[in-house]
Amino acid sequence: MIIVMKRYAPKHEVEGVCDRLQENGFQIHLSEGIERTIVGGIGERTNEIVDLLLTMPGVENVVPIVQPFKLASKEFKKEPTIIKVASNFIGDGSLQIMAGPCAVEGRDKFIEIAKLVKDAGATMLRGGAFKPRTSPYSFQGLEIEGLEILKEASQITGLPVVTEVMDPRMIEVTAEYVDILQVGARNMQNFFLLRELGKINKPVLLKRGPSATIEEWIMAAEYIISSGNPEVILCERGIRTFETYTRNTLDLSAVPLIKDLTHLPIIVDPSHGTGKWKLVKPMALAAIGAGCDGLMVEVHQKPSEALSDGPQSLTPENFADLASKANALKNALA
């Protein structure tokens, strides 16, 4: 439930409410605005505790949270969450474009593509150091060497980096090298991993699982937030349907739905969402029209030679065209 404090309620009144909630077994989450403080109480709500809270000094109202996701809901926090990554902001109305190859294949190749996507308009770098693959015989990534390459590319270009983490044991070391830790679609409901990511002080990009409903996806974000990390970025990357022509079905209705249901920022990955490079640009532009906060796009110097996801990767020239049109559309819609 949400306890709405009166305007300019003093600190000791807020603390009194928090103490009373904790005495009754509630987990506390504070949202402190300029004029008003909102106290989120996660626990078993009873009429008795509601009546008690309403009598306490400084309390204006007690509002139940109807949604199963409490901390991610707009009921808990009406203003959008804005996440600062280096000098970039996700969720403030600007458009962030994360670009790079599916996997870090080697130092020279990644440094080259990092420079190319920056010149073309990317605001962040993406690249996999650890690659979960369907086949155990496919390229699995360069692992620690890949993280070192990502860090070097970030230092050279000045762009922040996002990469996937699959194992809770690798969270700490991965966080030393990158700016955003990504949870891939296969791990969206790896609840132990989500809980551990809730303990770090780094943004987490949470991809939607291929068979996940909107509610299941948001509940996965709730695991991270309830464990202590409010900096969650959602990523729509397509869901599995009966359609076989595309790799996945990109669900762009998720963008306005997430905006309506939660305060979290959302980006779209049209590369995985379609699996075909010719569809990436039109779906990226459609995602901007739907109101997304950013794009994640796979780019490779020679997609035909990519060790993973070549058919959905743009060339640097095609990416430059996409970035130009994406920014023009964003400005037109502003």
Tokens of 81: 């969450």
For the domain that residue 309 is a member of, what is the CATH number? 3.20.20.70
Domains in the chain: how many in total?
Answer: 2
Give the global pTM: 0.90
227 burial (CB, 10 Å; 0-12 / 13-18 / 19+) is: middle
Same domain as 146, residue 42: no
Domain membership of residue 74 (yes or no) is no
The mean pLDDT value for 118-126 works out to 98
Q: pLDDT, tens digit, for every residue of 296-317?
A: 999 999 999 999 899 999 999 9
The mean pLDDT value for 151-173 works out to 97
Same domain as 239, residue 128: yes
Domain membership of residue 68 (yes or no) is no
Q: pLDDT, tens digit, for every residue of 33-77?
A: 777 888 989 888 888 999 999 999 999 999 888 888 989 999 888
Same domain as 155, residue 233: yes
pLDDT of residue 75: 86
Per-residue H/E/C for 143-161: CHHHHHHHHHHHHHHCCCE
Range of the domain at 127: 83-333
pLDDT of residue 297: 98
C-alpha 157/C-alpha 316 separation (Å) is 16
Same domain as 126, residue 58: no
pLDDT of residue 78: 86
Same domain as 88, residue 59: no
The mean pLDDT value for 129-150 works out to 84
- Pairing relationship of beta strands 266-268 and 37-42 according to DSSP bridges: unpaired
